[in-house]
């Protein structure tokens, strides 16, 4: 019998369940286990009442979804978005379960959201909303229970408010209740670069394995925000030729290579990569032009669903490393797999942020503060070893499928084994 829930009909949730079912069929997991895994252990909905600066009382709805804790406390970000739904929150918490299991860190999966457009709120209103949301879920979170972090439109300042509100409620400084805090409160400045750095590591390891190394290989990076800009910066520093980058203003392309430090300066000063003028740069106003360029490697690092059935056949790259969540549609993945294009999937490639969060949390718990160099060296070791474990497992056991299926199969298997050992199933 299937249980009917308030998240059942959400399209993002349905996509997450479809991926789970695909990997379950490869692992030979029976339907009753899939039924256990497709529901969160707990889903909490809270009401947040904020007094606006103009005196009006506004009511917001928020959620925290705790998908699975077989491998450790729930871990995952909190987003502020006017499109947030319970279903999307549950789906994102399920993806965090797989991402954390695959990363080999002692966490389960969680995710939170508040349905709000944060751009309409003043800083004071945002602080009130953040403190009240965290107070409302305070019985559900904690350093050993559930450890939130930033996601879309939340940042280290939001984490500082959450940390303070929680510490006030419990009566002590609970450093480990959230991660990606400001460095003054036990956070690591390296957290900012960690996802992009991890993506660059994924490119480096995959290029070593399938392209004969990174030196001189041409790379196009779609999206030049937090993830894309740091991925481009490290790849450039490590000897790749980054020939194209893009943002919502368009694509810049120079077949001889872009000066990424200069692009970073231009982006910082003007907000648009298309204002870069060095060398023989060509500009395309359509950001999708980037996917058709003659390059060795593509790093999609902007938004979901950009590599689709429509453009998959025009892709010339041999390697795609997903910085964004969900940039490749299942149809496009099938086309590319048949063309022997390797896709390093998001749950493997963009785990650098959550791994760095674990490094921060574990040191907070011991009362030690790490330097950025120490933290990045640990991240490098963990991510490189994880990439190679997944690559080897894929080649050995799952080579007939895209690498994503192998990554899911490994992650789901780890969670199911832990549940069995604990006697849950």
Q: Catalytic residue numbers?
A: 111
Least separation in angstroms between CB 354 and ligand NAD: 8
Among residues 109, 112, 223, 345, which is the contact residue for ligand NAD, using CB under 6 A? 223
User: Which is nearer to ligand NAD, 161 or 224 (by Cβ)?
Assistant: 224
Long-range residue pairs from 115-122, CB within 8 A, at least 24 positions apart, any chain: 115/60, 115/61, 115/62, 115/81, 115/82, 115/83, 115/84, 115/85, 116/60, 116/80, 116/81, 116/82, 117/80, 117/81, 117/82, 118/80, 118/153, 121/50, 122/53
Among residues 134, 224, 276, 391, which is the contact residue for ligand NAD, using CB under 6 A? 224
Binding mask 143-182 for ligand NAD (x = CB under 6 A): ----------------------------------------
CA distance 182 to 331: 41
The torsion defined by the Cα of 357, 358, 364 and 369, in degrees rounded to 10, comes to -70
User: Which is nearer to ligand NAD, 110 or 353 (by Cβ)?
Assistant: 353
Q: Which residues pair with 251 in a beta bridge?
A: 246, 284
Write down the residue that tokens 């692009």 correspond to.
Answer: 263
The verdict on 226 binding ligand NAD (CB under 6 A) reads: yes
Q: By the 8 A CB rule, do 215 and 239 touch? A: yes
Helix, strand or coil, per DSSP, at residue 153: coil
Choices 30-38, 126-134, 299-307, 329-337 (CB under 6 A): range interacting with ligand NAD: 299-307
Instruction: Report 331-370 residues binding ligand NAD (CB under 6 A).
Output: 350, 353
Q: By the 8 A CB rule, do 207 and 232 touch? A: no
How many alpha carbons lie under 13 Å from residue 137 in its C-beta half-sphere?
34
Instruction: Report 237-296 residues binding ligand NAD (CB under 6 A).
Output: 246-248, 287
Least separation in angstroms between CB 212 and ligand NAD: 28
The verdict on 378 binding ligand NAD (CB under 6 A) reads: no
User: Which is nearer to ligand NAD, 186 or 323 (by Cβ)?
Assistant: 323
Greatest Cα pair distance, the chain, in angstroms, is: 64
Least separation in angstroms between CB 193 and ligand NAD: 9
What residues make contact with ligand NAD under the rule CB under 6 A? 195, 222-228, 246-248, 287, 301-303, 323-325, 350, 353
């Amino acid at each position: 019998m299937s249980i009917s829930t308030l998240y059942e009909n959400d399209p993002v949730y349905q996509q997450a369940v479809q991926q789970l079912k695909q990997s379950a069929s490869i692992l030979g997991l029976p339907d009753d286990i899939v039924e256990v895994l497709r529901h969160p252990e707990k889903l909490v909905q809270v009401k947040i009442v904020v007094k606006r600066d103009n005196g009006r009382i506004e009511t917001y709805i928020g959620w925290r979804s705790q998908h699975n804790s077989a491998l450790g406390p729930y871990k995952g970000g909190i987003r502020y978005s006017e499109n947030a739904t319970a279903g999307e929150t549950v789906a994102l918490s399920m993806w965090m379960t797989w991402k954390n299991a695959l990363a080999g860190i002692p966490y389960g999966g969680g995710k939170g959201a508040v349905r709000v457009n944060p751009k309409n709120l003043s800083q004071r209103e945002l602080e009130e909303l953040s403190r009240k949301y965290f107070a409302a879920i305070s019985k559900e979170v904690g350093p050993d229970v559930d450890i939130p972090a930033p996601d879309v439109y939340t940042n280290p300042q939001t984490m500082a408010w959450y940390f303070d509100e929680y510490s006030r409620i419990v009566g002590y400084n609970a450093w480990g209740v959230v991660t990606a805090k400001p460095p003054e409160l036990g956070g690591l400045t390296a957290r900012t670069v960690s996802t992009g750095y991890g993506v660059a590591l994924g490119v480096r390891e995959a290029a070593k394995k399938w392209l004969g190394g990174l030196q001189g290989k041409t790379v196009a990076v779609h999206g030049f925000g937090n993830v894309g800009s740091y991925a481009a910066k490290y790849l450039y520093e490590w000897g790749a030729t980054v020939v194209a980058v893009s943002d919502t203003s368009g694509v810049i392309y120079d077949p001889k290579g872009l000066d990424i430090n200069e692009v970073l300066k231009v982006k910082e000063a003007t907000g648009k990569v298309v204002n870069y003028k060095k060398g023989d740069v060509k500009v395309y106003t359509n950001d999708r032009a980037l996917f058709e360029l003659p390059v060795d490697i593509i790093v999609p690092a902007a938004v979901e669903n950009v590599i689709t059935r429509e453009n998959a056949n025009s892709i010339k790259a041999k390697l795609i490393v997903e910085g964004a969540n969900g940039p490749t549609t299942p149809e496009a993945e099938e086309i590319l797999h048949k063309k022997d294009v390797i896709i390093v999937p998001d749950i493997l490639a963009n785990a650098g942020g959550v791994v760095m969060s674990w490094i921060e949390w574990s040191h907070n718990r011991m009362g030690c503060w790490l330097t950025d160099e120490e933290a990045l060296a640990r991240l490098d070791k963990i991510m490189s070893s994880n990439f190679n474990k997944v690559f080897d497992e894929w080649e050995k056991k799952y080579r007939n499928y895209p690498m994503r299926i192998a990554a899911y199969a490994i992650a789901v298997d780890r969670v199911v084994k832990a549940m069995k050992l604990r006697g849950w199933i």
